[in-house]
Structure 1
Amino acid sequence: MNNLDKLLSIASSSLSEREPELSGPIRKLAGTSAEQLVNVLRQRNGFYAFEGALHVFPSDSSQSEMGISDWNHADLWRSSYNGLADNVVFFAEDIFGGQFCIKDGSIYIFDPETGSLEYLAADVESWAEVVLHDYEVLTGYPLAHQWQKRNGPVRAGMRLLPKVPFVMGGDFSLDNLYVADAVEGMRLRADIADKIKNLPDGTQVKFSLD
């Protein structure tokens, strides 16, 4: 059993019953990992794992789920990052809306609060291995578990956001979390990323949550 099979063995059922297909532009951006991603979606077209802390998008949208093509549409939230979120394919997210994405065939983590990319794995299979090995950190599972034990399940299309952004010193604690629409959460933090991108470390920033 490879690592993708292991991950799928603990995942939810498919989030879409349609035959998965990725558009030409998405495939081009995904590069050498495009076929691996399609193969995963053929086995499980979108899924949740680790009590919903990991969310892999299905290929297409439905009433309750956003598909990969729509999630990657520039007008949804990507353009709010003013170029920082370009030229990658976002295919999964952690409980805080941190994004897993493909760039030049490799897998990166996209930090929504800073717009920065951090290399994670060489391909989708390696990504599954890393996630299984370090799921508590990479998916936010411990806080997802605690939150849902206290407040109930985080619904589809929602993520847990920090009241005080992590990049500004916010705690990784239940008291610093609230549930928010995933798209609005990305747009909100795109504004934060834009405001702090040229500031030196240690700069004091005022931030208000509407």
Structure 2
Amino acid sequence: MKGIIFQGRPVADAQTFALLPAYLQDFLRAQNGVVAYFGGLHIRGCCQTPAWHNLGAAWNGEQAFWKLYRRVQPTDIPFAQDCVGNQFLLRGDAVLFLDTETGEVADLEVDFKHFLFGIEKFPLDALGMEPLRTFQHQGGVLAPGQLLSVYPPVCIQSATQEPTLKPLPGLERLAYLAAFYAQIKDLPDGQRLQFAPKA
């Protein structure tokens, strides 16, 4: 992987590690999670700290994705995320994509090995890195533990407003996305919205 800005320390959460499939254990044994592509991809590790890197908390903690998003199952492993906080989940051997604004889940039709192969070959497309590339061209830099806030949210069409991009602490960004999803999840497509600007 290129553009590595963070590597996790050796595995420190044996309980979570023991629940993982062998191929993910092998990856985390070699490097216990990583932030690569200058923040374009974050693969979580089995650790206690830093909190934003903690796979066990993302999977089974108070703010676990399956507790917040109706289409995520308790057995789905939220092993990674992109630069804006969308999640990559393992369901069996399949890699799924969770859009954290809308709660939509899509099967990427690849396994973990081919997911890594795809992002190595086509990182910009595979990771949806256009917002990060724009942010970088504006002189911005994402630090480890940060995610990129996009306002207005991507799922809302705005004919007049250019998206505003800014870095936020990752856990704060994920909390905002979950709260946004909770407010719109039962609205029909095309519903007009009016809401106060947030992160």
TM range (shorter): 0.7 to 0.9
1:118-157: CA deviation from partner (whole Å, max 9, x where unpaired): 0013421021123234421332334323423434421222
Give the number of equivalent residue pairs: 196
Which residue in the other structure is 2:111 paired with? 123
Give the match's secondary structure for 2:97.
strand
Which residue in the other structure is 1:112 paired with? 100
The answer to which of 63-72 and 120-129 deviates more is 63-72
Give the match's secondary structure for 1:168.
coil
For residues 21 and 64 of structure 1, the distance between their equivalents in structure 2, rounded to whole angstroms, comes to: 12
Is 2:17 the partner of 1:17? no
Counterpart of 1:127, as a letter, is F
For residues 162 and 64 of structure 2, the distance between their equivalents in structure 1, rounded to whole angstroms, comes to: 26
Higher helix share: 1
The answer to which of 67-76 and 56-65 deviates more is 56-65
Give the match's secondary structure for 1:167.
coil
The answer to which of 117-126 and 77-86 deviates more is 77-86
Give the match's secondary structure for 1:72.
helix
RMSD: 2.8
Query: Which of these residues, 37, 42, 65, is aligned with residue 55 of structure 1?
Result: 42
Specify every segment of 5 or more residues in structure 1 that has no aligned partner in the other structure, as ranges: 1-7
1:146-200: CA deviation from partner (whole Å, max 9, x where unpaired): 42343442122210121111111259x9842222222222222222222222222
Percent identity, aligned pairs only? 19
CA 1:92–1:82 in 2, change beyond 3 Å: closer, same or farther? closer
Give the match's secondary structure for 2:7.
coil
Q: What is the 5 A alignment of 1:1-210?
A: 8=1, 10=2, 12=4, 15-19=7-11, 23=15, 27=19, 34-63=21-50, 65-76=52-63, 78=65, 81=68, 83-87=70-74, 88-169=76-157, 175-210=163-198
Partners of 1:15 and 1:58 within 8 A in 2: no
Counterpart of 1:59, as a letter, is C
Partners of 2:83 and 2:148 within 8 A in 1: yes
CA 1:174–1:145 in 2, change beyond 3 Å: closer, same or farther? farther
- Measured after TM superposition, the shift of residue 82 of structure 1 is 5.2
For residues 84 and 40 of structure 1, the distance between their equivalents in structure 2, rounded to whole angstroms, comes to: 27
Give the match's secondary structure for 2:124.
helix
For residues 146 and 188 of structure 1, the distance between their equivalents in structure 2, rounded to whole angstroms, comes to: 22
- Measured after TM superposition, the shift of residue 18 of structure 1 is 1.4
For residues 38 and 183 of structure 1, the distance between their equivalents in structure 2, rounded to whole angstroms, comes to: 24
Give the match's secondary structure for 1:188.
helix
Specify every segment of 5 or more residues in structure 2 that has no aligned partner in the other structure, as ranges: none
Counterpart of 1:111, as a letter, is D
1:57-97: CA deviation from partner (whole Å, max 9, x where unpaired): 12213247522112223313536625443321101111111
Partners of 1:108 and 1:117 within 8 A in 2: yes
For residues 48 and 23 of structure 2, the distance between their equivalents in structure 1, rounded to whole angstroms, comes to: 20
Please report the TM-score for the alignment, with normalisation by the length of structure 2: 0.82
